[in-house]
Amino acid sequence: MPKLITQVGCPYCGASCDDIEVLVSDDGKKILETRNACVIGNEIFHHVSNPDRPKRPRQRQTDGTMKEISYDEAIDFTAKTLIKAKKPLIYGFGSTNCEGMSAVARVAEKAGAVLDNCASICHGPSFLAIFDNGYPSCTLGEVKNRADVVIFWGCNPMHAHPRHTSRYSIFPRGFFTNKGQMQRTVISVDPRETDTAKLADIHLMIRQGHDYDLFDAFRTVLRGYDIPAEVAGIKKEQILEAAEKMKKARFVMIFFGMGCTHTDGRNHNIDAAISLTRDLNSITKASIMAMRGHYNIAGPGQVWSWQFGFPYCIDLSKGTHAHMNPGETSSIDLAMRDEVDCFVNVGTDAGAHFPIEAVKHLKKHPFITVDPNICMASEIADLHIPVRVVGVEEPGVVYRMDNVPIQFKKVIDGPEGVPSDEELFDRIYIRMCELTETEPLWIHVKEHAKASSSQVE
């Protein structure tokens, strides 16, 4: 009799849906069906049953081919490489749980590495703006129940976060928004006519790269000053109309994405957006939220801020303190400037996401990929270590885009002998301690993890 598991978390996008239902075969080894998930989430659940999925580490040989090796050999190689490197870079973590992030932090501290996550090429600039200007944010529940003017600035949830609009931002009927979509005014700011822009009541087709100018125009208008006839390719009348909608709203919600964080100005675009949110709060209620990409990309920001005081781009090579300054300690800059001599890619695909020049620089040195699947980073790596898939074969805590922690479930057993990220990094840490003849320091570790890692020993 197949078993239906309810309230399962979806390990795909930053909306981190936790209402998925998964039908599992009697032996608990195969996923038969998923319900409530979007098309991409559904695919993630079925992906684990792919027969071609690697189940043992593979190391590149001198002739360029990949050969299967044991986990012990892979762990030994990784530990030795990290110890030998003058400045290793450990990057990734969009798609793993907080337990794995905490475990890798111990490895990074031991290795004197730079610890960075996908925010570096994603919402990192948002962090910098938040450092400078604060973060007047809320939860997605508040958006659902209160927001009547929703602004999507440089983001396209219809494609990137498929259930975001139906669960939180446009369609759902909430406590004060019981008419759902009928009650909400949707404003899209995007240089292209995306599917989200098509849904919007007002689409401001901004000139690409001029977000800061438009934020400045809104702020100037809200303070009662005049603006030029056209700003960032948008007519003054349209700006005044949108500003009027915001002023008359009961609750304005600004969602922003890569269109803001990775066009010219980057953190300053978000900085201006935060200032606009603050200005709006003198007239009505307003809030702002980053459209985080992966289901737990908010996790490293939470875990590492607690452990080291910084959310990303953390240079631990000093030994005495953590240093963070994106532009210097950010992954792409480190790679382009040839400032690292070892690269570990965890739970992401730097091979696909980094500029080709950065990848070429990284490839001059040992390149290790930790990922459940075959991806571009695994295929160019010197060593590929497969792990269990979080949210499907491994439970754990994840942080949704509004920084709400959610306990994800395990629905089926992982392939035999394949460790989780947390187990793998704890074993690498133990091996590094053996090699350097030091005692492991189990700080920030959960009791059960401590017990299981001592069994490994």
Partner 1 sequence: MATIKLKPYKTPELYLEGFNISPDVFVGKSPSEIASLEGREGKTRIELGDFFEVSGTTGATASDTNILIDGDCSRVKYIGNKMTDGSITVNGNADMYVGGWMKGGSIHVKGDVDSFCGIAMEGGDIQIDGNAQNYVGCAYRGDWRGMRGGTIHINGNAGNDIGTFMLGGTIIIEKNAFIHVSTHAEGGTVIIKGDVQGRVGGQMVKGDIYVFGNIQYMLPGFKEIGMIEHEIVGEKAMFKHFIGDLGERHPKSKGKEIFGNLYLRAS
Q: How far is the CB of 151 from partner 1 (least distance, A)?
A: 17
Instruction: Find the Cα–Cα–Cα–Cα dihedral 294, 300, 303, 306, rounded to 10°.
Output: -130
Toward partner 1, which CB reaches closer, 209 or 395?
209
Q: How far is the CB of 87 from partner 1 (least distance, A)?
A: 3
Interface with partner 1 (CB under 8 A), residue from 75, 121, 128, 291: 128
Other Cβ atoms less than 10 A from the Cβ of 337: the count is: 11
317 in contact with partner 1 (CB under 8 A): yes
338 in contact with partner 1 (CB under 8 A): yes
319 in contact with partner 1 (CB under 8 A): yes
225 in contact with partner 1 (CB under 8 A): yes
Interface with partner 1 (CB under 8 A), residue from 271, 349, 371, 422: 271
Interface with partner 1 (CB under 8 A), residue from 87, 245, 247, 262: 87
Q: How far is the CB of 281 from partner 1 (least distance, A)?
A: 13
85 in contact with partner 1 (CB under 8 A): yes
Interacting span for partner 1 (CB under 8 A) from 11-19, 41-49, 83-91, 247-255 = 83-91
Task: Report 129-188 residues binding partner 1 (CB under 8 A).
Answer: 131-132
Q: How far is the CB of 110 from partner 1 (least distance, A)?
A: 10
Interface with partner 1 (CB under 8 A), residue from 14, 92, 94, 265: 265
Q: How many residues bind partner 1 (CB under 8 A)?
A: 43
326 in contact with partner 1 (CB under 8 A): yes
262 in contact with partner 1 (CB under 8 A): no
318 in contact with partner 1 (CB under 8 A): yes
Interacting span for partner 1 (CB under 8 A) from 193-201, 205-213, 244-252, 387-395 = 205-213
Site string for partner 1, 43-72 (x = CB under 8 A): ------------------------------
Q: How far is the CB of 1 from partner 1 (least distance, A)?
A: 56
Toward partner 1, which CB reaches closer, 52 or 225?
225
216 in contact with partner 1 (CB under 8 A): yes
309 in contact with partner 1 (CB under 8 A): no
Say how far apart CA 186 and CA 200 lie, in whole Å. Answer: 5
Q: How far is the CB of 222 from partner 1 (least distance, A)?
A: 8
Say how far apart CA 223 and CA 280 lie, in whole Å. Answer: 10
Q: How far is the CB of 64 from partner 1 (least distance, A)?
A: 25
Toward partner 1, which CB reaches closer, 19 or 279?
279
Residue 228: CB partners within 8 Å, gap ≥ 6? 236
Toward partner 1, which CB reaches closer, 225 or 447?
225
360 in contact with partner 1 (CB under 8 A): no
- Calculate ∠ Cα 190-209-121, nearest 5°: 90
Q: Quote the distance between the C-alpha of residue 349 and its chain's center.
A: 12
Toward partner 1, which CB reaches closer, 53 or 87?
87
Contact positions vs partner 1 (CB under 8 A): 85-87, 111-112, 128, 131-132, 210, 212-213, 216-220, 222-223, 225-228, 231, 264-265, 268, 271-272, 275, 279, 317-319, 324-328, 337-341
